[in-house]
Each structure stands twice: as structure tokens, then as C-alpha cells.
Amino acid sequence: MEKDNPYLIAKATVFNKKSFVFYNISRLRELIRYLPPKKFELFNTIPFLLHINSPKFTGYMENHANAYGIYGFNDSGFWRLTLKRFNLSEGEMISYTSRLYCIKGLYLMGSSGTIAQTNYSDFDYWVIVDDKTVTKEQLTILNKKLDVVKKWSEANYSQSVNFFIMGINQLKENNFSSVDEESSGSSQRTILKEEFYRTFIMIGGKIPYWAVLPVGLDDASYKKWIKLAKIAKHHEFNSEDYIDLGNVAHISTNECIGALIWQIYKAHHDPVKAFMKSSVVANYYQNTEETLMCDIIKKKFSQNNLESNYLTDPYVIVFEKIINFYKNSFNEDDLELAKTCIFLRLSGYPISFKIDENSPKLMLINKYIKEWYWDEEKIYDLKNYIEWGEAKHKKFEDDILIKINKLYEQMLDKSNPILDMSKSDITILKNKIKSFTEEKENKIPFASAYLRAIAPELSFFITCQYDERLHGLWTVYDERKGKKQSGQIFFIGHFLLEFIGWIILNGFVETKKKIEVNNYPISGKRIIKFIDEVSSFFSDKNHINWELSQPVFNKMIILLNTIQDKDSYDKILNSCDFLIKNSWSELYFESINLTKVENQILKCYEIAVIMWKYFKNSSGNIYEYKFVRLDAGIEDNTRKTVEDFLFQFKNENFDKDITLNISMLKEEDNPTIFDEEDEWIEEENSFLLDNF
């Protein structure tokens, strides 16, 4: 029988390899279809840069330790095409290649090469190394090389590129890295493996055995086939050309709850994609006997022309699975939300782009519109989602988050869940979710995920209506639409630091800005520089700790606001604004009016009380704060007096009102000044609460 005959297994593997290769080529063609010429150039160049180590090219490592080179890459079309583009010969490059091949496989996964790909799709590469032989030094150097290529790609091609180094045995055991912005850590194991096999495109290296073995093998049969294939003698089969990354026979239901927690977090960045992935997870949880989607795709490897048969596309399989899942739930609202998300995903959400007239993507959109009986108003609204306005975008995203939370709660209700995640990953993910979902007093809100995603394409028009009593109104518009269109207002606030906090929190520091101010102490140009300085002060990531059960406050900007006294013409302190960051990277804003406070010492006391409210539970760490003022007309000992109060509060474990000590030394204070003549003037020393 074939399953026990090494030669027949090798023969079947060679036959299946041809189907996989044709399918892989078809996926590459689809990927190229949606790539602009500049990004196509980058796509061809990246594997070349990982294969070589030349001082003439990006990614060169002087002490390389052979941490480069892709197995079999010299026989690939990528290699030949790139040599031709750079007008190089193989002979010229031979000394810059390594026959040790640190990289055993290079695969692109995700939406690239599928019907869901857009001009803005990330390049997510899995870089496979042999974790039995690779050294720590090689991993360190390879990481550095990949980081250089990543930053170069983003800087020169405006393309987001992510590299995930995976060990062969690590993948076999479904053991993925710890949680960060891009990696789900232990929250997904078989789920991530299934997605990889369902969507991966082979760029270079060895062919995964999974792709050339029969559909539906259990783990024991999978291992047996590989074992027999390796001892086979067949002239077209070389076991060195294949790699065992492990099987995926079923989805562990213990992973599903953790996977949904991960998607709740990811909804903060891309709610439409998170909804779809959550729906896939929920379907696997409820329908444990269903054929895995990666196996459905593998059955179609022989149907290798995605252009003529787009229904075999990996994402079309996902779309159909999601629609059937919600049809079977008999909830029309959920089904309609699913259809809306599918339509927006095909339309490029969150970034709009023109779809080619005769592309499979447009054919599928038209097919769905006809099947779903949508009216013209619905279609027009969804096609013009970029015109929704910030409030509608946030409402839509909130609806998605509510639905994902319901899926999560339904899982909890149906079983006594066993979370197949490390305790650390659970804590980190839950805290990250809290940081963007929980509303708290004085907490600066996030903008919509849509607005944050399109920020690089935006230009803000910012106005400030202001009078000398510091009653201001800061409004952020879409400059492309003009300030008269109220639907394109992104933010309204009453204070400069509040507005700056919103800019920093949402990653808008680099977004183009035009500021128009009315009677403000400093110009729009200086405000933009002030934004950069405040952002720089808060940029240190050493204070971030997601594993704390509750965040602690560790950084603060204190802005001293003054007005001119009508009698003496002196500058007097009339209000104080605070921008505070905690160990979860949340930002809080608070302001106090000091016009009715009797004297300067009492004003300093009020400032110290606010500072202590945030810092009192943060002992044992380093806490930084900086005093800033917008004009140079005030000379007082504000900072020193405030610090004396803080010292007193700390020593007396201050929680409520205490007797004021007004005999404190009065020394000339020099808070940071920011005016038209001087930019941010740095203090000689940063101020650390632990110094008291």
C-alpha cells in the first residue's frame, strides 16, 4: 500500500509538489497584480538582501557569523531577476553568499497574494532557522540585519515590513513568541499554524512537508509519511528540499478564548480584520469537526489559476465560512455586520484605493452585492466610508468591539474555560485591552482606528480661539475638507496640553499640521515645536510595564499659565495644566484655575496636591516631571516651593489636607521657558521624585 511504501510516498510527494508550485506561482501573480511598481521592486529585493551580505547593499553586517543566506535561493527567479535589475553576475556575488544557509525557509503570510490584498498590506515574513544548530550570536546578528532591512523598507518605500524569526522545532511544537504589538504570543498556537498554512506564499528555501502531503492526515500519519519519505529512493525526490514544520489536524478549543482576547486587543488597530478573525475563531470553537480551512485550500492546490477561479482564494474561503457561521446563528444584525466587514475588507478599509475594473476583487464585490440584495443607499454609504466622519467611525468600531466581546462571553458561558496561555501573556493582553477600552476621569481618549490608520495621508488644520483668561478652544479639522465641514472635525478641547496629549497618544506627531491661533502667547510654528518637545519627553519606553495589575504614573509635564496683572502689569500665575503618563502609556490631562487662590504659596500648594495625587502610589520607581511656561515674563520660586511641598507630603504620607509650612526657603526658580525667542530651554537636571 502507498502509505507504507517509501517509493510510492516519494512519488506522491513529487506529484503534489508540482500542484503546490503551480498554486504558489498563482498566488505570486495575484500579489504582483495589486503591488504598485515601487513596492514590486521592494518585494523582489527583500529576499535578495537576506540572501547576501555585501557592503554595497542594505543589511550588511560586518561581523556576520554566517547569519544570512536562504537555502536554494540561487536557483530561484527572485535571484535571477534581482541580479539582472542591479546588472550583476553570479560570479560577482559568489563571495557575498553563504552555503551554510542560515535561513531554511522564507515565507510570506497574511493577506498578501489574496483577494484581500491592498496597496497598503503589510509584508509579514516568517524567517525559519534551525533552532538545533543556530547560535545565539547568529540570531542576534540576523535580528539586526532584519531590523535594518525593515527600517530601510519603511523609510524608502513607505512599506510596513515585519520579520518573525521562527525555529523549526519551535514551529513543530506551536510555540510562538511572547506578546508584543505584532505577535500574539501563547494566545494562538494551532490557530496561528492553521492561518499560516492557509495563507503562506513560499518566497525561498525549503518546501513545508505539510504542503505536499495528503489532506487530513492525523499527527501520527503525518509523521509516518515524512519518516518513510526520507528513506525513499526516488530520482525526483530529495528530502533536503523539504522541511517539517509540524502538522495541524485540529484547532484546540482551549486556544479560542485566548485568541479572542488577542483579537479584542487587535480591534484597537484594525477592527474590521479583528472582527473577521474573531468570527473564524468562534466558528472553530463551535464546529470542532469541520474541515480546517487550510485543508480546504490544499484540496484546491491543483486548481492553480486564481484569476479565472477566484473562489479558491484563501480569503474567499474565509468570507464564505464567516457568512455561513452567522447565517446559522440566526441573528440578522450579526450577519449584516459580517457582510459589511467583508465589503469594507475588499474595499481596502481603512485606506481607500481604486479597484481595477476587471479584477477578481471587483468581480467578487459585485457578486456579493447581488446576492445580498443591498439597496443603492447602503452601497453608496459603504463605498464612501472615508466621508463618514470621526463620530460615525468610532460608533462603527464600538459596534465591532461589542460583538467580539459577545463572542468571548458566549465562549465563557458554554464551558469552564482552560486558557492555553501563559499567565504573563494573559496579564499583558488584558491590561492592553483595558488601556484603550476603559473610560476614566481625565483620561485622554483614543481617536478612531480609521483616523490613526490614515494619519500618514492626512494634513490637520488646527485652530485656537483664545483670550487672556486662558479660555481656549482647540479644534482639529481635516485640512483636505476645510474647517467649514463640521463632520470632519477630529478633536475639540479647551487646553493646549490636552490637545497635545491627544496628538501624542494617537501617533499624530508626524502628521502634517497647519495651526491658526488667535491672540495666543506663541505662534503656530512654535506650538508645533512644543508638540515635538513634549512628545520627546514622553517617548522613553523604559517606564512601560504591562505586567502591573494597575498602572502607576511616572511622567508629568506641568504648564504654568500667566496673565498680566491690570494694576502692577506683572505676570501672575493664574492656572496650571498637567499632562501625565503612566506605565501603560495612558495619558491623562488635568487643569486647575488659580485666579481665586490667595497667594503664590497657596498656588504652589494646589499644584503640589495635584502632582502628589498622581505620584503618591508610585514610590520605588523613577518619576520624572518638568515645569514649563510659555512666556519669559515671570520670575518666581514656583518650582522650588512646589518641590518643598512634595517633600513634606512624602515624609508625612500625605493623603488629606495638612498644615502648610510657609517658612520654606525661597530660591529663584527657573522653570522651562518656551517663547518666541527661545525654544524649549532644558533644565540642568531632570526632576526625580525619588530624589526627595
Q: Which residues pair with 376 in a beta bridge?
A: none
Where are any strands of DSSP class E within 73-148?
105-109, 123-129
Give the pLDDT score at 355: 82
For cell 502634517, what's the residue? 512
Q: Give the pLDDT of residue 679.
A: 41
**198 backbone dihedrals φ, ψ, rounded to 5°:** -75, -30
Distance CA 196, CA 266 (A): 18
Q: Is 18 exposed, middle or buried (0-12, 13-18, 19+ CB in 10 A)?
A: middle
pTM: 0.86
pLDDT of residue 498: 96
Give pLDDT < 70 ranges for the chain.
Answer: 1-3, 177-187, 304-308, 415-420, 467-471, 481-487, 568-569, 619-622, 632-636, 653-692
Q: pLDDT tens-digit profile of 240-259?
A: 999 999 999 999 888 888 88
Distance of alpha carbon 241 from alpha carbon 250, whole angstroms: 26
Whole-angstrom distance, CA of residue 39 vs CA of residue 14 = 33
pLDDT digits (tens, 9 = 90+) for 320-378: 999 999 999 889 999 999 999 999 999 989 887 778 888 888 999 999 999 999 999 99
CA dihedral 397, 360, 329, 407 (to 10 degrees): -40
Q: CA 63: distance to chain centroid? A: 31
- DSSP conformation letters of 43-66: HHHHHHHHHB--TTSTT--SS-TT
SS3 407: helix
CB 30 within 8 A of CB 254: no
Residue 620's pLDDT is: 57
Distance CA 662, CA 518 (A): 39
Three-class DSSP category at 285: helix
Half-sphere exposure of 542 (CA within 13 A, CB side): 6
**Is 350:458 a contact under the CB 8 Å cutoff?**
no
662: Cα within 13 Å, side-chain hemisphere: 6
151: how many CB neighbours lie within 10 A of its CB?
12
* The predicted structure's pLDDT at residue 690: 34
- The DSSP secondary-structure symbol of 124 reads E
* CB neighbour burial string for 352-367, b if at least 16 within 10 angstroms, e if fewer: beebeeebbbebbbee
Distances from the Cα of 36 to the Cα of 31, 40, 49, 118, 353, angstroms:
10, 6, 20, 10, 12
pLDDT for residue 682 = 39
